[in-house]
Chains A and B, each alone.
Chain A
Amino acid sequence: MIINKEKLNKEKIFGGFRKRKHENMQSRNRKEENENKVNSSSPVLLSFKSFQNELDARHDKHERLVKLSRDVTIESKRTIFLLQRVTSVPEVEDLLNESESKFEVIRQKIKQIAQELVGEDMHQFHRAFSPGIQEYVEAVSFQHFIRSRSLISLEEINKCLVFTPKKEEQPGDSECSTLSNSEAENQNQQVLCLQVTPTDYLLGIADLTGELMRMCISSVGNGDVETPFEVSQFLRDVYYGFTYIGNTGPYEVSKKLYTLKQSLAKVEDACYTLTVRGSEIPKHMLADVLSSKTTMIQPEEAM
């Protein structure tokens, strides 16, 4: 019977819709009251009420994670820009230290993501925070390359994303544990961690190659003739790695393979020019030669 009444009301809405707006509003209000009545009586509506809460909670969490992920992305991008200055600054150590403090801020954000995911299936919300994590991988691996000219391993990245409240447990990662130490009081001794998935790692590394290409070209501009060859060798290794994975990886990985090939071609091209013409052109002129080359390459990059 209640349903019937509600239906009648609904039809009034449809009826009144074309006639008078005012009446329409009224009947809508009445209908809402009516629905409330149905709520208390019908088990179906009661259970939908609980579904509402469950879905809302899930969506809210998703939104919070998206926001955190965006923050991580922005900060990581800034760190990469900072690190790109490495070629023009004599004090590389200072820059690296500065980037390290930026990473601390980013890890704080990632810690918040980990906090959101406590007791959840991380894969359920993975799509929400995956872009941020990829950007972080890119930034961290870039810094690692500048420091040691090698590829950071997935394990090393993950090690820094374990947030333990006790300092003693993580002597190796002082910067990580001091971070969490400050919040240890309200964190009631819980170990938080966020593990980067192999796919996110791969995608981040694929992006890294683009940054390395930029670094390579601009380092030549500064008369550095060592870096291009190192980068070229490194990119070649990474490219072999990606072809080794081939299509066992997810779809996004194979998409990035094409861009990776382009970056590699540019770097190899720069090395070629350096080798062929390096002996002919005086060192201070080299920058001009290669920078004219980069302007040639630039429009291609936009595509």
Chain B
Amino acid sequence: MSVGSMFSLIQASLSSDQDIREEIRKVVQLLEQTAREILTLLQTVHQTSGFKDIPNKCQKARVHFETVKTLMVELKTKFPIDQYYRFNEHWRFVLQRLVFLAAFVVYLESETLVSREVVAEILGVHMHRDKGFHLDIEDYLSGLLILASELSRLALNSVTAGDYSRPLRISSFINELDSGFRLLNLKNDSLRKRYDGLKYDVKKIEEVVYDLSIRGLGKADKADDGKGEAVGK
């Protein structure tokens, strides 16, 4: 085979790759759009007025997740499914955002940590690789870490809004998440970098809990928590 024909063969395969990337980018842009809409919707819970109709907002967000599902179906058709990891940097970021948003909705609804199965179901993807377009475990974990920083913000704002019990619940939730993450042996990658930020979220929430408890604003049995922390400082 001549050098020239070999290179034109390679060139053809590279440009067909580029076409696939182009197609994927189009869908990912729509996904990002939807993710932004959901985020805007959920951001209102930080406002004092927003605390009242959280269920209503979650309902609306869930409607948007239906759009996400249809877009995911479209995304699946854009590339051969066995090459998921070849192109996955294109949707990695938005997928993590969506995991966060789904986890946030589930948290607001039931104050529990969303499981991987449920996220996969909300987003309309599979959980395991062999079934097709799936949710990578690292993306799921990254989404949870975004949730943690969002919740530390929520704890602050709920105090401002006069809801003093919520920070305590958030605190125990984040603590559980933190001990979960401590079980993992992370490599020095982006997930690890994000995990390193978790301790600041934990700290922030504990400070809120502390502030509340020394003023007797939280539940009575949480008072010794505050004392313990005071010694810690």
Contact = CB atoms under 8 A, between A and B. Distances in A.
Interface stretch (A68-76, A120-128, A261-269): A120-128
Contact of A6 (B3, B11, B137, B179): B179
Interface in B86-113: 86, 113
B172 A11 contact: no
A248 B15 contact: yes
Interface in B162-186: 172, 175-177, 179-186
B228 A12 contact: yes
Given A124-B85, A249-B14, A48 B180 contact: yes
A244 B8 contact: yes
Interface string A193-218: 00000110110000000000000000
A244 to B, nearest CB: 6
B70 to A, nearest CB: 25
Nearest to B141: A51
Interface string B1-33: 111101111110111001000000000000000
Interface in A221-267: 234, 237-238, 240-242, 244-245, 248-249
A14 B3 contact: no
Contact of B18 (A14, A56, A248): A248
A47 B141 CA distance: 11
Contact of B11 (A52, A150, A245): A245
A167 B25 CA distance: 45
B172 A126 contact: no
A109 B10 CA distance: 26
Contacts of B231: 11, 14-15
A216 to B, nearest CB: 16
A69 B9 CA distance: 27
B185 A59 contact: yes
A54 B137 contact: yes
B187 interface: yes
Most B CB within 10 A of own CB, among A55, A199, A201, A234: A55
A7 B221 CA distance: 14
B7 to A, nearest CB: 3
Contacts of A123: 83-86
Contacts of B187: 59
A151 B3 contact: yes
A237 B222 CA distance: 77
Contacts of B9: 153-154
B10 A198 contact: yes
A243 to B, nearest CB: 9
Nearest to B189: A59
B116 interface: yes
Contact of B137 (A14, A55, A234): A55
Contact of A151 (B1, B8, B172, B186): B1
B11 A244 contact: yes
Nearest to A238: B3
A272 B3 CA distance: 23
A42 B3 CA distance: 62
Contact of B14 (A8, A52, A198): A198
Q: 5 tightest CB-CB pairs across the interface, nearest first?
A: A241-B7, A48-B180, A14-B232, A237-B3, A11-B228
Given A121-B84, A198-B10, 5 more contacts: A48-B180, A51-B180, A150-B1, A199-B14, A245-B7
